[in-house]
A and B are shown apart, each in its own frame.
Chain A
C-alpha cells in the first residue's frame, strides 16, 4: 500500500499497532488463499489422490475444509487483535 510522506504524524503506539496489524493480516490472508484457492482449486486434482474418510482431500477442502479454516482464521484474528490493542493501549 502507498503510504504518504506528508507532514501529518501518527503517535508511535498507533504506528506500531498498525504495522503489527498489517503483518498479522498478510499472514492470515496467505492461509486464506492457500486453503481455498490453493488446496480447493489449484492443487485439487493432485490432492484428490489422498482420502479423508470418504472424501477425496481436494474435494473436501473445496466443499468443507475451507469453510472450517475460514472460521478459525477469524477467531484467531479476533483474539490476537485484542491482545495487540491491550499491548499498545488502544482498545475500545
Chain B
C-alpha cells in the first residue's frame, strides 16, 4: 500500500475515534459543558491537559527550533515545563477548591467586582485568539502536505471535526477526545524518535541516545559531532547559544509564568474532584508532557545531523524524494548560485526573504527561485524549520506507516489545542459575560445554548484565521505568553497569597501589566519592526521576554494601589481562608 493511502486510513481512523468519543460523551448540563461534571480522574485529566497543552507548535515546530537554535532553544524546553511547577504549587489546588467554572469567575469573585471580571474576560479572549491564530499555520502545513488537499478544505475539515466534539460535548467531550489525541500524538512522536536514535547511536532511547556516541566509527558523541560539523559549515556551536544571558533568562521566565497563566490550561484543573487531585493532576500532566519534551532535543539534534548528511554536497538530481516533496510545498528551496548542480548547505541565508517560485525548472530540474541571492553567503539551501519533525521519518527513510502515524499525530496536536482554546473562549462569553454580568436571569438551558453558539462563532473566526492567515501571526506568538504572564497570573497569585489585595489594586495591576506588555510587543513586532534590535530593548529584554517586566510592573502597581485603598471586605478574607485549605467549603467557612 502506498504512503498516501496509509495516511488517509490513519487520519480517517483517528477522526472516527474522536467523533465516536464526542457522541458518547456529549454534555447535558452547563456543569458538564464547562468542567466535564467535575469528576475527572487526575491521571486522565493530566493526559488531557498534556494534549491540550502540546499544540501544533510543540509537536511540529519545537524540534525544528531546537535543531536550528541549539542551546538557545532551551528557553522553550524549560519555559514550557517549569510553568507546571508554578501551577501545581501556587495555583491549581486553590483554584479547584474555589470551585467555579472559569478563570474570570475566580477573579470576579475574589475581587468582588464585575469590572475585574470583565477585564479578566478581555485578557482571556485576547490571549486565546492570539494563541489560536498561532496554531493555524501548523494546521495549514499538516493538512496541505499530508492530506494533499488545498489549505482551504484542510481547515474546513479540521474545523468540522472540532465543531462536532467541542460544541456537542463541551469540556466533557473535549476531555475524553484529548485523552485519545494524547495517545495518538505521543505514539506518533516516539516511534520515529526511537528509530532515529537507534539508527544514529545504536541506543533506541532518544534521551540516552543524545548523550551517546555516534555509531559511524568516529568515537564522537552526538553533540560533539554536531558542534564539529556545524563549525565546519560556518555555523555557531550547537551547545552554545547566541542570545544574551538576560534575554534567555527573561524569555524562560515569561514562558513559565505565561504557561501558568494560560486560561485553557488553568481551567483543566477545575475538572477534577478535589483540591488535592488538582496537585496530582498537574504532576501527571508534566509527566506526560515531559515524555515529548525530553525527546524533542534528541529529535532536533538527530534531524540536523541527518539533514546535513543527506543534503550537503549532494547533487540536486540525486536529492532524496522528501526534499522534492517539501520543495513542492514551498518549504524547501535550492538556488544554485555557483551553477554546479550540487547543493551547498552553509551558514547564512541563501537568498532574501521567503522563497518565491517562478514557472518552470532550472538546469538540474529544481524549482526556480526569483529571490535576490545573498552574495556573501555560499549557502544555497532554504529550509523551513517547521518541516523537521514532519519530514524526519522520510529523511530517515522510515516505512510508510510511520509517516502516516506522524500525520495523524500532528493533526491530533493541532486539533486538541484548538478545541481547548475554543472552549475557554465560549465559556467566558456565555458564563462570565452573559450569565454573570449582563443577563443573570438566563436559564441553564439558555446558557448552554449560548455556550454552543459562542463556541460555533469562535470556530468560524479561528477557521477564517486559518484560511487567510494574517501576516502578523508568526510575529505575535510571544503575545499569548507575555500577556498571560503580565495580566492573569499576578492577579490569581495575589488573590490566593495576599488577603490584603483588593479590587482597586488587582484591576490597576492587570490593566498596567497588559497595557505595557501589549504596547512593547506591538511597537517592536508590528509598528516598527526595524527597531527590533538588542540596542533598543528595555534592559536588553526582547519582546519575547518582556512579559516578565510587565509581570513585575503588575505586582508593583497592584501592591502600591492596594496600600492606599480600602482593605477588602471580611467575606473575601473568609473566602481566601477557605480556598487555602483543602477540606470542603462547608467546613472551612464554619470557624
Q: A4-B573, A8-B574, A63-B77 known; A73 and B85 CB under 8 Å?
A: yes
Q: Which of B137-145, B451-459, B513-521, B581-589 contacts A (4 or more CB under 8 A)?
A: B581-589
Cβ–Cβ contact B283 & A78, under 8 A: yes
Q: A54-B222, A67-B77, A74-B282 known; A25 and B89 CB under 8 Å?
A: yes
- Report B267-297 CB contacts with A as 1/0, cut-off 8 Å: 0000000111001101100110010011001
> Smallest Cβ distance from B319 to chain A, in angstroms?
31
Chain B residues near A4 (CB-CB < 8 A)? 499-500, 567, 573
User: Is there a chain A Cβ closer than 8 Å to B90's Cβ?
Assistant: yes
A interface, over-half SS: helix
User: Is there a chain A Cβ closer than 8 Å to B81's Cβ?
Assistant: yes
Chain A residues near B4 (CB-CB < 8 A)? none
User: Is there a chain A Cβ closer than 8 Å to B84's Cβ?
Assistant: yes
Q: A9-B591, A53-B211, A59-B223 known; A3 and B276 CB under 8 Å?
A: no
Cβ–Cβ contact A63 & B74, under 8 A: yes
Q: A71-B286, A90-B581, A92-B584 known; A60 and B279 CB under 8 Å?
A: no
Interface range for A: 35 or more
Cβ–Cβ contact A78 & B279, under 8 A: yes
Cβ–Cβ contact B84 & A41, under 8 A: no
Cβ–Cβ contact B223 & A56, under 8 A: yes
User: Is there a chain B Cβ closer than 8 Å to A68's Cβ?
Assistant: yes
Cβ–Cβ contact B252 & A37, under 8 A: yes
Cβ–Cβ contact B276 & A82, under 8 A: yes
- Report B198-222 CB contacts with A as 1/0, cut-off 8 Å: 0000000001101111000000011
Interface range for B: 35 or more
Cβ–Cβ contact B78 & A55, under 8 A: no
Q: Which residue of A lies closest to B582 (CB)?
A: A92
Give the number of residue pairs across the A-B interface with Cβ within 8 Å: 159
Query: Apart from A6-B567, A25-B90, what are 12 other A-B pairs with CB-CB below 8 Å?
Result: A9-B591, A32-B85, A59-B71, A59-B223, A62-B71, A68-B290, A74-B279, A74-B283, A77-B89, A85-B583, A92-B582, A92-B584
Q: Of residues 485 to 503 in B, which have CB atoms within 8 Å of A's CB atoms?
A: 497-501
Report which A residues bind B (CB closer than 8 A). Answer: 1-4, 6-11, 14, 17-18, 21, 25, 28-29, 32, 36-37, 40-42, 44, 48, 52-56, 59-60, 62-64, 66-68, 70-71, 73-75, 77-78, 81-82, 85, 90-92
Chain B residues near A64 (CB-CB < 8 A)? 207, 210, 294, 297
Cβ–Cβ contact A42 & B239, under 8 A: no
CA distance A27 to B93 in the complex (A): 18
Cβ–Cβ contact B297 & A91, under 8 A: no
> Smallest Cβ distance from B454 to chain A, in angstroms?
32
CA distance A62 to B223 in the complex (A): 14
CA distance A78 to B253 in the complex (A): 23
CA distance A7 to B499 in the complex (A): 13
19 pairs, A vs B, C-beta closer than 8 Å: A2-B499, A14-B580, A14-B588, A37-B249, A42-B249, A52-B211, A54-B222, A63-B73, A71-B287, A73-B85, A74-B279, A74-B286, A78-B88, A78-B279, A78-B283, A81-B279, A85-B583, A90-B581, A91-B276
User: Is there a chain A Cβ closer than 8 Å to B245's Cβ?
Assistant: yes
Complex partner residue of B583 from A29, A67, A77, A91, CB under 8 angstroms: A91
- Report B64-85 CB contacts with A as 1/0, cut-off 8 Å: 0010000101100110011011
CA distance A10 to B588 in the complex (A): 9
Q: Of residues 557 to 589 in B, which have CB atoms within 8 Å of A's CB atoms?
A: 559, 562, 567, 570, 573-574, 577, 580-584, 588
> Smallest Cβ distance from A45 to chain B, in angstroms?
8
Cβ–Cβ contact A74 & B84, under 8 A: yes
User: Is there a chain A Cβ closer than 8 Å to B248's Cβ?
Assistant: yes
> Smallest Cβ distance from A38 to chain B, in angstroms?
10
Chain B residues near A18 (CB-CB < 8 A)? 580-581
Chain A residues near B249 (CB-CB < 8 A)? 37, 41-42
User: Is there a chain A Cβ closer than 8 Å to B224's Cβ?
Assistant: yes
Q: Which residue of B lies closest to A64 (CB)?
A: B294
Cβ–Cβ contact A74 & B580, under 8 A: no
Chain B residues near A90 (CB-CB < 8 A)? 581-583
Chain A residues near B559 (CB-CB < 8 A)? 2
Chain A residues near B584 (CB-CB < 8 A)? 92
CA distance A75 to B280 in the complex (A): 8
CA distance A7 to B251 in the complex (A): 42
Chain A residues near B580 (CB-CB < 8 A)? 14, 18, 21
Cβ–Cβ contact B221 & A14, under 8 A: no
